[in-house]
Structure 1
Amino acid sequence: MKKNYTFLIALLLSFHLYAQDTFSIIAVDPATGEVGSAGASCVDGIGAFGGLIDIITDIIPGRGGVNSQAYVCIPNSNLASAIEQMEAGLSPDEIIDFLVNNDNCNSQNFNPAFRQYGIADLDPQGNPRTAGFTGNLADDFKDDIQGATYSVQGNILLNETVLTNMENNFNNTDGNLADKLMAAMQGANFAGADARCLDRGTSSTAAYLVVYQATDAPGDPTLRLNIEEMPFGEEPIDSLQILYDDFVLSLPDNSLENNVRIFPNPVSDQFQVLLPPATFISKIEVFDMSGKQVYLQTQFTGLDTGEVIDSRSFTKGVYFVRITSPQKTHTLKIIKN
């Protein structure tokens, strides 16, 4: 079931045609052929342009995708060039080399050292490949991190924790590619992740998440969540999570194992156990690695807000959340930071 949501709060304020997007992730799933991207930024007036989603990311279903950010043109000509090169068969590393040597953002009169890119694709044999680039003139703090299936990048960040949290959440989250991308975004859900939003007490002003299945047509993804722009002081990643939970609960398979969700994971102070509305749960338990029960809640019915569990007393390590319904028991792993 395809879902396309748009949360529109377009504040028609002045908008600078540079530094679009501050932290983002692009990733592929070799097992399913899915390609996805997620990101956020603190830019006033971005809602007038429909948010970030169509400015800084583009995806070829079943093949790969590119995130192009920092001092971009609108429309993003370098992003278009990167996708053309991917279609022509270039690898992520080759695409980066092409972009550095053929910067196409002439209207800005900026050189490639201002740019930032993240690329992930599947080669002709279905093997994942990734590459990233951060120019030395992009705004600090800036960096990019690559794994086997993903590239995480950011600029104008509070510090390196933004990127390492995103990477850790992506790698330590069970589930499909969309689950992992949403978890990565939660890793940056703190005040000042984009340093420009520190005084507002939010990570950013706009956020998005998009996932294409291998069989999706270009421009028609299975999942497209777009928080165009939030009012001053309201957190867009929270709104993105609400839309994502709504999407998950709308899926036709309402079995317990496919619809129970825990976020954030890894866990800091508290986490939520989300279930389909009106799902009766006999008990929710949390066990540490030794099998000791550290939490118990009985007679719980699934609500939109889910069950909030305070984990501040938990020591760092791996825990197991066991959810028991009248029909069956389902166990999920969480990591306490």
Structure 2
Amino acid sequence: MKKYVTLALFSLMSLSFLAQDTFSIIAVDPLTGEVGSAGASCVAGAPVNWDTWITDIIPGKGGVNSQAYICIPNSNLANAINRMELGDSPQQIIDWLVLNDACNSQNFDPEYRQYGIVDLDESNNPRAAGWTGSSADDYKEDRQGPNYSIQGNILLNVGVIDNMEANFNNTSGTLADKLMAALQGAKVPGADSRCLADGTSSRAAYMVVYKPDDNPGEPYLRLVVSTQSNGVEPIDVLQDLYDNFLTVSENPLANKVFLFPNPASDFLELRLDDSITQGTYAISDTSGKQLVLESINSNTMRIDVPTLSRGLYFVTITTVAGTITFKFVKK
């Protein structure tokens, strides 16, 4: 059974306005056919779907990151994906976008845009291209490798790009592992220079990875950290969500026990496979203190959490079939 995971923090309706986004990476894995994107920004009001502002992916083919001065919805991003579907290479797509800018931010001037595009050609060879307009905010750069494009604007310095690239190239494992490592490379105060005073790299982060047989819009991995309070490092929050994703994926109960939503405001819903008829659930805080211990008496249960303070918690479900622990954020 294919498992789709969407983990996000904070909710806000998507509006049609202009925004700037900072550092990101988009990459393909020619061995697995996976395509993935990850990024972060010191942007206020980023909602649970803010990743869709700057990235889109065609499963098994390639993807586009479109950032700096953008429109929301991102018309240039949509056009880039259309050109990819028509068969254009990454460089051809960028050439077309520069001549056919479709965003009224900065009067349809492509010099305010930044793109990173990757794909797999008909022979399954990776290709990458980038564009950084001369009017995007400094420090700015896009940098390509054989199967990736890293791009950033409003950066502290070139070290942000250097560290992202080094971590991506020096990390073994899955494409998701490498993307997460790339973001960790940018986890320095002021990586997005607007967040320097807060002591964090950024305020929001995301990671999305598609397997080649995933449906468009339904990645097997999608983790979104929307705008955090001042002083909260979103890349650390994203790492926690990714670690939890890996733990759940490897557990034999992974496809039998589900807990959502995450983050939660007032309640969690616990759903168990029909084969699980009894057990317990416990909620503990990050110090290990157990706050709740209750019996499982139904395959669908509502767990009320309105009295919990904001922060990270653990829910451990113990059944005759085994034990599984979830992390969730109380907002």
Pairwise same-fold verdict (TM > 0.5): yes
What is the SS of the residue equivalent to 1:251? helix
Deviations 1:277-308 (A, max 9, x none): xxxxxxxxxxxxxxxxxxxxxxxxxxx99xxx
Q: Is the counterpart of residue 39 in structure 1 residue 39 in structure 2? A: yes
Contact 1:36–1:209, Cα closer than 8 Å, also in 2: yes
Deviations 1:69-110 (A, max 9, x none): 011001000000000000000000000000000001136514
Residue of structure 2 equivalent to 1:2: 3
Residue of structure 2 equivalent to 1:258: none
CA distance in structure 2 between the aligned counterparts of 1:187 and 1:15, rounded to whole angstroms: 32
Q: Which TM-score applies when normalising by structure 1?
A: 0.72
Q: Assess, with a 3 A threshold, how the Cα gap between structure 1 residues 34 and 189 changes in structure 2: closer, same or farther.
A: same
How far the C-alpha of 1:17 sits from its partner, in A, is 1.6
CA distance in structure 2 between the aligned counterparts of 1:196 and 1:236, rounded to whole angstroms: 14
CA distance in structure 2 between the aligned counterparts of 1:102 and 1:9, rounded to whole angstroms: 35
Residue of structure 2 equivalent to 1:189: 187
Task: Give the AA of the match of 2:247.
Answer: L
Deviations 1:31-89 (A, max 9, x none): 00000000000011223xx3530100000000000000011001000000000000000
CA distance in structure 1 between the aligned counterparts of 2:181 and 2:4, rounded to whole angstroms: 19
Residue of structure 2 equivalent to 1:102: 100
The total of aligned residue pairs comes to 252
How far the C-alpha of 1:10 sits from its partner, in A, is 4.2
What is the SS of the residue equivalent to 1:46? coil
> Which 4+ runs in 1 deviate beyond 3 A?
none
Identity of aligned residues (%): 62
Residue of structure 1 equivalent to 2:27: 27
Q: Assess, with a 3 A threshold, how the Cα gap between structure 1 residues 107 and 24 changes in structure 2: closer, same or farther.
A: closer
Task: Give the AA of the match of 2:45.
Answer: G
How far the C-alpha of 1:7 sits from its partner, in A, is 2.6
Q: Is the counterpart of residue 243 in structure 1 residue 241 in structure 2? A: yes
CA distance in structure 1 between the aligned counterparts of 2:234 and 2:59, rounded to whole angstroms: 26
What is the SS of the residue equivalent to 1:86? helix
Task: Give the AA of the match of 1:4.
Answer: V
How far the C-alpha of 1:251 sits from its partner, in A, is 1.5
Deviations 1:285-334 (A, max 9, x none): xxxxxxxxxxxxxxxxxxx99xxxxxxxxxxxxxxxxxxxxxxxxxxxxx
Q: Which TM-score applies when normalising by structure 2?
A: 0.73
Select 2:207's aligned residue among 198, 206, 209: 209
Q: Is the counterpart of residue 151 in structure 1 residue 149 in structure 2? A: yes
Residue of structure 1 equivalent to 2:221: 223
Q: Is the counterpart of residue 167 in structure 1 residue 168 in structure 2? A: no
Alignment of 1:258-269 (within 5 A): none
Structure 1's unaligned 5+ residue stretches are 255-303, 306-337
How far the C-alpha of 1:9 sits from its partner, in A, is 2.4
